[in-house]
Structure 1
Amino acid sequence: MSKKTSYLLGILLTIIIGTILYYFFCCKPCLEAANKEAEVENIVREPEVKIATKNVFSAIDSKSSLEFNSSDNFNFKGSAFSLLEPVSDDLKVEIEKMSTYLNDNPGKAIDITGYYTSEENNTSAFPNLGLARANAIKNYFVSHGMSSKMINTYGKLNDDLTPDDSNIYYGPVSYSIITKDENDTSEADALKELHDEIIADPLVLYFNTASASINLDVKQREKIFKMVKYVDKLDSASIKIIGHTDNTGNRENNIRLGLDRAEFAKNYLVSNGVSSSKIKTSSEGPDKPIADNNTDEGKAKNRRVVVTLN
């Protein structure tokens, strides 16, 4: 082998060895580091595993320290206000005990606070989903011997609640047994003000010719809640729904149409947890217009249902 050939081979060998060394000491560590960063990034991007919130039933009388507890509670589907069945036997036993205690102690009352999250959609007739849920539980208590006069309902936003994979909220509610002051007349005064307010400004629903649904705004939902609150506290109180029509057609048919509209509104309220025994319906047909029936605009105003108190 000539000196020139040996020289060229030496250069080639040096290049090969240098390339190998460069790969192992420079490229390979960089690639490994990049792969590790990718792995870390993938780990970070993995969805967070959320554990469903599960609140148990607990009602405590702060005055006597008496407690009613159950490992279960009332549960609700996401964006829903109907109780999920079945209710556990253990919870039923505690409800029966609490009902007996409250009935034996008329100076006591129970506050029910229903919770909801900002991710849920309120389709109820109440101002918020928490109130609708509290009302559903109130109805359950009443069906098990408790008087609605000793139950107060509230609604509150709580974004700390987490549903399970089936979108079920476990116990989105809290309870507190309170003692009423016999000399306190504020509740009676508030009910009188509530009555006068509702009578002065009743809920009015307008109906198109083929209305098949009721969509309430926030103020209308608030009026319904106030009416329910009022009739819950007074045995003699009830909600009055009166149907009205324009003057199209004969009076007999319009009286029937007005009653159909009143019954439609009643069924809507009942489906939202308002007791049917607390609702009375009637029809005035075309007899009490509030606008000129000679115009389409006037007729539209006359096709209405008025929801108020007896």
Structure 2
Amino acid sequence: MSKRTTNLIGILLTILAGIFFYYQLCSSCGAAVAEDAPVEKVVAPAVPETTSYPFALSDVGYSCNVNDNYNFNVSSSTILTPLATAVNDCIGSLKTYLGDQSDKVMNITGFYKSDENNNSAFPNLGLARANAVKNHLVEQGISSTQINTFGQLKEEMISKDNIYYGPVSYSLETEAANAMDDMKALRDKINADPLVLYFDTAEASISLTAAQRQKIADISRYIDKVADASCNVVGHTDNTGKASTNMRLGQNRADFAKDYLMKNGISGTKINASSKGQTQPVATNASEDGKAKNRRTEVTLK
């Protein structure tokens, strides 16, 4: 082999060796860069934890605390059933305790959020939920005279699957000495400025203002707290049509209002519905405005 050929082979081997080592080194460098490069992490948005409030209350000689409660759908004051066995057990022991302690009262506070739709007759869904719980406890044998109801705005509540878990709290206390004086003052206040529901001609439907909702809450409270209390619901009409027809229409309106109050937790046995027809106008029937004022149902307390 000539010297020239040997040199050419040497040059070719050198080039091939250089190419080989180049790719080896570049591959290692690339891997090192890839390993050292920061990796962007995709963080999923945090899911708010569902709130849940227990059925818990205590007093001297009594305590009950279970990790369950009354539950409600969002924008609803209807209790979801069935209740947990532990809750029913607490209700049973609470009935016994309150039966033995006649001077004790139970405070029920229902929670609600400002973005919920309130389709109840009460000022807010919290109070409506508290009244729903109160009515259930009364069905279990606890006296309504030993129950107070309240509503509380609680924006931090988080629902799950359209359900609020336990949006109700409880406490026990001794009944205030002037409680009956407060009830008498409440009755006088309501009768001085009765709940008045207005109706369109020949119609019986109810649309409540905020002030009317508060009056219904006050009426419900009085009837609950005073053992022999009741309310009178009297239907009135304008003078359009026959007097006999208007007497029936007034009764229909009174019955409609009674049914509405019953659906919102006031016992039907505590509601007396009657009609005065067109016989007791509060304004002239010579104008449409006057007739509108005469088409009404008034609710007062006895």
What is the TM-score of this pair, normalised by structure 1? 0.82
Deviation, 1:219, is 0.8
The residue that corresponds to 2:56 in the other structure is: 58
Deviation, 1:301, is 1.1
The residue that corresponds to 2:156 in the other structure is: 160
RMSD of the alignment, in Å?
Answer: 2.1
Deviation, 1:212, is 5.2
Deviation, 1:117, is 1.1
Residues 73-92 of structure 1 aligned to structure 2 (within 5 Å)? 73-92=69-88
Counterpart-to-counterpart distance in 2, 1:267 and 1:243: 13
Deviation, 1:65, is 5.0
Identity score, percent: 48
Question: Which of 166, 175, 187 lines up with 1:171 in the alignment?
Answer: 166
Over residues 72-109 of structure 1, what are the superposed CA-to-partner deviations in whole Å (9 max), with x where a residue is unaligned? 21000001001111112221121011011101110111
Q: Which runs of 5+ in 1 are unaligned?
A: 1-23
Over residues 105-134 of structure 1, what are the superposed CA-to-partner deviations in whole Å (9 max), with x where a residue is unaligned? 101111101111122121111111111000
Deviation, 1:69, is 2.4
What is the TM-score of this pair, normalised by structure 2? 0.84
- Equivalent position SS for 1:112: strand
CA contact (8 A) 2:198 2:292 kept: yes
Residues 134-153 of structure 1 aligned to structure 2 (within 5 Å)? 134-153=130-149
The one-letter code matched in structure 2 to 1:103 is: G
The residue that corresponds to 2:65 in the other structure is: 69
The residue that corresponds to 1:219 in the other structure is: 211
Counterpart-to-counterpart distance in 2, 1:94 and 1:52: 24
The one-letter code matched in structure 2 to 1:235 is: A
Residues 199-238 of structure 1 aligned to structure 2 (within 5 Å)? 199-211=191-203, 213-238=205-230
Counterpart-to-counterpart distance in 2, 1:280 and 1:297: 28
Deviation, 1:47, is 4.1
Quick check: which has more Rg, 1 or 2? Answer: 2
Over residues 50-84 of structure 1, what are the superposed CA-to-partner deviations in whole Å (9 max), with x where a residue is unaligned? 221121211111xx152022232100000100111
The residue that corresponds to 2:281 in the other structure is: 289
- 1:110 matched to 2:102? The reply is no
- Equivalent position SS for 2:208: coil
Question: Which of 175, 182, 186 lines up with 1:190 in the alignment?
Answer: 182
The residue that corresponds to 1:130 in the other structure is: 126
Counterpart-to-counterpart distance in 2, 1:83 and 1:213: 25
- Equivalent position SS for 1:235: coil
Counterpart-to-counterpart distance in 1, 2:156 and 2:289: 48
Question: Which of 239, 261, 268 lines up with 2:253 in the alignment?
Answer: 261
Counterpart-to-counterpart distance in 2, 1:89 and 1:142: 18
The one-letter code matched in structure 2 to 1:154 is: F
CA contact (8 A) 2:204 2:253 kept: no
Counterpart-to-counterpart distance in 2, 1:285 and 1:211: 14
Counterpart-to-counterpart distance in 2, 1:78 and 1:244: 37
The one-letter code matched in structure 1 to 2:175 is: K
The residue that corresponds to 1:7 in the other structure is: none
Counterpart-to-counterpart distance in 1, 2:291 and 2:71: 45
CA contact (8 A) 2:238 2:278 kept: yes
CA contact (8 A) 2:98 2:104 kept: yes
- 1:307 matched to 2:299? The reply is yes
- Equivalent position SS for 2:185: helix
Count of residues in Structure 1 that have an aligned counterpart in Structure 2: 271
The residue that corresponds to 2:26 in the other structure is: none
The one-letter code matched in structure 1 to 2:174 is: T
Over residues 8-49 of structure 1, what are the superposed CA-to-partner deviations in whole Å (9 max), with x where a residue is unaligned? xxxxxxxxxxxxxxxx99xx99xx88x94xx65xx4xx5431
The residue that corresponds to 2:47 in the other structure is: 49
